[in-house]
Amino acid sequence: MTFTPTKFDTLLVANRGEIACRVMRTARRMGLKTVAVYSDADATARHVREADEAVRLGPAAARESYLSVDAVIEAAQRTGTGAIHPGYGFLSENGTFVKALEQAGITFVGPPASAIAAMGDKSAAKARMANAGVPLVPGYHGDDQGDALLRSEADKIGYPVMLKASAGGGGKGMRVVESGEGFQAALDGCRRESKAAFGDDRMLIEKYLVQPRHVEVQVFCDRYGNGVYLFERDCSVQRRHQKVIEEAPAPGMTTELRAAMGDAAVRAAQEIGYVGAGTVEFLLDADGSFYFMEMNTRLQVEHPVTEMITGQDLVEWQLRVAMGEPLPCRQDELTITGHSFEARIYAEDPEQDFLPATGLLTRFALDLEGAGLGADQVRLDSGVESGDTVSMHYDPMLAKLIVHGVDRDAALATLNRALAALDVQGVVTNRAFLQRLANHPGFKNVELDTRFIERNEATLF
Ligand code: ADP
């Protein structure tokens, strides 16, 4: 690969909301000029107010604004931008976008298009990971897709199994099959769903783990073959496969398991020539076995909990790697201090099946002093301020409340106080639901697995 490191002094953030604000904060600290982009619905949004310069992309519909490759590249060219940070979602894992940037001579703050492609297809990714010696959930991810063969593979794996669309994502095209009798109907249904959502009906089959934890490893690679892991996050608390509260480090990890998962994650990244920030997701079984699930080739929503326990700024790492610098430190220079939680504050109504909420946010404030909390204990990554309007056009996440404590109990107590100190008026949020979760005895006792919310419905709703 020929690569000429280019320093840049202007960064365009091709995103909105809290992540656009968060990326620009570090960019400013590093002396970079910041450019925001916006749709008509966001003309006066916080990320626009905070940028040095802002460019309109198009109408409110994401397809015509934040998802428009042409509009984003044009905005970059118009402002003399040297690099683009994609945030998460939108164009962050779009190989076409990355290739278009290469041609336009603009630096993409993220991995090469080839690495995104390698992880984009679940079956192909699993084949690559098997090669690299990364443990996989027992299962079938082959090319032969005949009904009879899939059925016999499922029988061999043993029920329950999970059918997954190879091209799937976002929790779609997945089905649990309890026994052989239900297999054909589930296969037909899953294929239909997958064809409709992804235009592709190839399936893979996995052993269905009954009570796994979702534990993911933060990795970082530079352009010179160096790779490190910044430990793990436990994201087991999910509602419909969507994360609600995340924490780092994962409770109950031994030094050996942490090193084994970290090494496997770095191997996974290096196998595909990865560069930048990435996350390797694993399912962790009760017996301590862990299995590769997928790799997210972007900065994750929950990256702040890793920053809190390592004292590193992951966006600064991303920008330095994009400028062609080597990783800022070696594996043995990274350590874990204390414990961190993140709670996602959504404009949604838990009383109405989590229906997204909109309106004028008359107040959005966190009274740390009143709660007796210090600025070193609590961080609010927000895309909004009092007086902003929450529209229906995009993801309803308003902010992330992140806390740090000397250990898990201390951090959890701080999370509860910080949630209570958050004053939101004018728009319904999930705050009360988060408080019930954070106060739940099962959560305090680390009874964690991906069905925690489902299992505790009676006491959480
Ligand atoms: P997507 O790409 O659609 O997000 P994933 O493969 O990442 O799908 O799986 C999403 C979630 O589904 C996981 O976090 C986990 O809760 C559950 N899951 C996936 N595979 C299995 C499995 N083999 N056994 C049990 N649960 C699983």
78 is catalytic: no
Length of the chain: 461
- Tell me: pLDDT of 2 over 70: no
| Residue with CA closest to ligand 1 atom 17 | 241
Q: Extract the runs of DSSP E, i.e. beta strands, from 196-323.
A: 203-207, 213-221, 227-239, 242-248, 276-284, 290-296
Three-class SS state of 255: helix
- Across the range 326-346, mean pLDDT stands at 98
Tell whether the model's pLDDT for residue 140 goes beyond 90: yes
The whole-chain average pLDDT of the chain stands at 96
- The residue whose CA is least distant from atom 8 of ligand 1 is 171
Q: What is the pLDDT of residue 332?
A: 98
pLDDT band at 4 (very low <50, low <70, confident <90, very high): low
How far CA 91 is from CA of 65, 96, 268, 344, 393, in Å, comes to 11, 9, 23, 22, 16
Residue 254 token pair: 């031994």
* Residue 112 and residue 93 in contact, taking contact as beta carbons nearer than 8 Å: no
Distance 366 CA to ligand 1 centre (A): 34
Tell me how far apart the alpha carbons of residues 77 and 71 are, in angstroms, rounded to a whole number: 10
- Checking ipTM against 0.90, whether it exceeds it is yes
Would you state the pLDDT for residue 165?
94
Per-residue pLDDT at 6 exceeds 90? no
Q: Which two tokens stand for residue 251?
A: 């409770």
Q: Residue 305 is which amino acid?
A: V
Give the confidence band of 173 by pLDDT, cuts at 50, 70, 90: confident
Per-residue confidence at 171, pLDDT binned at 50, 70, 90?
A: confident
CB 344 within 8 A of CB 244: yes
Ligand 1 neighbourhood includes 204 CB (under 6 angstroms): no
From 198, 283, 284, the mutation candidate for ligand 1 (largest count of ligand atoms within 8 A of CB) is: 283
pLDDT score of 5? 63
Q: What is the structure's pLDDT at 34?
A: 98
CA distance linking residue 117 with residue 378, whole number of Å: 37
Distance from C-alpha of 137 to C-alpha of 163, rounded to nearest angstrom: 12
The burial of 216, by beta-carbon neighbours within 10 Å (0-12 exposed, 13-18 middle, 19 or more buried), is given as buried
Are 17 and 395 in contact by the 8 Å Cβ rule? The answer is yes
Q: Taking a C-beta distance cutoff of 8 angstroms, is the pair 409, 327 a contact?
A: no
Beta-carbon count within 10 A of 341 CB: 27
The yes-or-no verdict on residue 36 having pLDDT over 70 is yes
d(CA 310, CA 308): 6
Q: How far is the CA of 450 from the centre of ligand 1 (A)?
A: 9
- Expressed in angstroms, the distance from the first to the final Cα of the chain is 53
pLDDT at 461 (0 to 100): 87
Strand partners, 390: 359
Res 382: pLDDT: 98
| Catalytic residue, candidates 22, 46, 233, 298 | 298
Amino acid 240: pLDDT: 87
Given a contact cutoff of 8 angstroms between Cβ atoms, the answer to whether 296 and 125 are in contact is no
pLDDT over 90 (residue 378): yes
